[in-house]
């Protein structure tokens, strides 16, 4: 009997939870704020769904109820992607080591 593709996706999902678990525990506590902003940025990869909704129409028209929701979601996700990655970058730039030359 053939395995339902859903099971494959479920496997990916569960394995990723395990990967996430171990990777996140190894994040140093001093970087927990950047961790939150970067996870926020990457979860905006939901934009791929928005792009499909906006572009993959069956008709020739640019606007349909479903594509409009797609366009709206693109704006929201774009704010998040750029905002999230840039603010993370800004924070990470500030973390510096002690300067060796003391005086």
Partner 1 sequence: MISSNLSAIFYLISGILFILALRGLSSPDTSRQGNYFGIAGMTIAIIATFLSIGNFSNSFLYVLILLILGGAIGAFIAFKIPMTAMPELVAGFHSLVGLAAVFVAIAAFLNPEVFNLGISGNIKLASLIEMSIGAAVGAITFSGSIIAFLKLRGIMSGAPITFSGQHYLNLFLGLGIFVMVYYLCKIQSENIFWTLIVVSFLIGVLLIIPIGGADMPVVISMLNSYSGWAAAGIGFTLENTALIITGALVGSSGAILSYIMCKAMNRSFFSVILGGFGADNSSSDTKEKKDQKPVKSGNAEDAAFLMKNASSVIIVPGYGMAVAQAQHALREMVDKLKKNDIKVTYAIHPVAGRMPGHMNVLLAEANVPYDEVFELEDINNDFANSDVAFVIGANDVTNPVAKTDPKSPIFGMPVLDVEKCKSVLFVKRSLSPGYAGIDNELFYRDNTLMLFADAKKMTEDIVKNLD
- Hey, which residues between 5 and 64 contact partner 1 (CB under 8 A)? 5-6, 9, 12-14, 16-17, 19-21, 23-58, 62, 64
The yes or no reply on residue 97 touching partner 1 (CB under 8 A) is yes
**Helical H segments across 3-46, by residue range:** 5-25, 32-43
Cβ pair 81, 41 in contact under 8 A? yes
Length of the chain: 103
Q: Does 100 bind partner 1 (CB under 8 A)?
A: no
- Per-residue binding string, partner 1, 62-91, x by CB under 8 A, is x-xxxx-xxxxxxxxxxxxxxxxxxxxxxx
Rounded least distance, CB 1 to partner 1, Å: 17
Alpha-carbon gap, residue 53 to 73, rounded angstroms: 9
């Amino acid at each position: 009997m053939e395995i339902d593709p859903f099971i494959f996706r479920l496997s990916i999902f569960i394995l990723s939870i395990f990967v996430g678990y171990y990777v996140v525990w190894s994040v140093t506590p001093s970087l927990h704020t950047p961790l939150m902003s970067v996870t926020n940025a990457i979860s905006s990869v939901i934009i791929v769904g928005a792009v499909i909704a906006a572009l993959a129409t069956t008709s020739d028209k640019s606007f349909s109820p479903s594509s409009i929701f797609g366009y709206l979601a693109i704006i929201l996700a774009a704010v998040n992607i750029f905002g999230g990655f840039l603010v993370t970058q800004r924070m990470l730039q500030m973390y510096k080591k002690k300067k060796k030359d003391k005086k």
